[in-house]
Amino acid sequence: MASPGADSRTQLLMPAPLPALIQEALERRFLVHRLYEASDREAALAQAADVRVIATGVPILTQDVQAPVNAALMDLLPKLELIANLGVGYDNIDAQAAAARGIIVTNTPDVLTEETADTAFGLLLNCVRQLSRAERFVRAGRWLHGQFELSASLRGRTMGILGLGRIGSAIARRAEAFGVQVVYHNRKPVEGAPYRYFDSLIDMARASDILMIAIPGGAQTQKLVNAQVLEALGRQGVLINIARGAIVDEEALIEALQTGKILTAGLDVFANEPRVPQALIDMEHVVLLPHVGSASQVTRDAMGMLLVENVFAWHTGANIPCPVPETPWRRPPEQTG
Give the nearer residue to ligand 8YV in terms of CB position, either 163 or 237: 163
Give the nearer residue to ligand 8YV in terms of CB position, either 89 or 266: 89
For residues 41-59, b (16+ Cβ closer than 10 Å) or e, as one string? eeebbebbeebbbbbbbbb
Q: Is 244 left (phi over 0), alpha (psi -120 to 50) or beta?
A: beta
Question: Residue 235 Cβ, how far from ligand 8YV at the closest point, in Å?
Answer: 30
Residue with CB nearest ligand 8YV?
Answer: 87
CA-based angle 303:116:120, to the nearest 5?
A: 165
Say which amino acid occupies 222: Q
Question: Residue 127 Cβ, how far from ligand 8YV at the closest point, in Å?
Answer: 20
* CA–CA separation, 87 and 156 (whole Å): 34
Give the nearer residue to ligand 8YV in terms of CB position, either 65 or 72: 65
Q: Which residues bind ligand 8YV (CB under 6 A)?
A: 57-59, 61, 86-89, 112, 291, 293-294
Question: Residue 79 Cβ, how far from ligand 8YV at the closest point, in Å?
Answer: 25
Catalytic amino acids?
Answer: 244, 273, 291
Closest CA to 76 of 92, 97, 107: 97
CA separation, residue 279 to residues 196, 244, 251, 265, 275 (Å): 35, 19, 9, 13, 12
Give the nearer residue to ligand 8YV in terms of CB position, either 15 or 89: 89
Question: Residue 212 Cβ, how far from ligand 8YV at the closest point, in Å?
Answer: 16
DSSP state, 272?
Answer: B
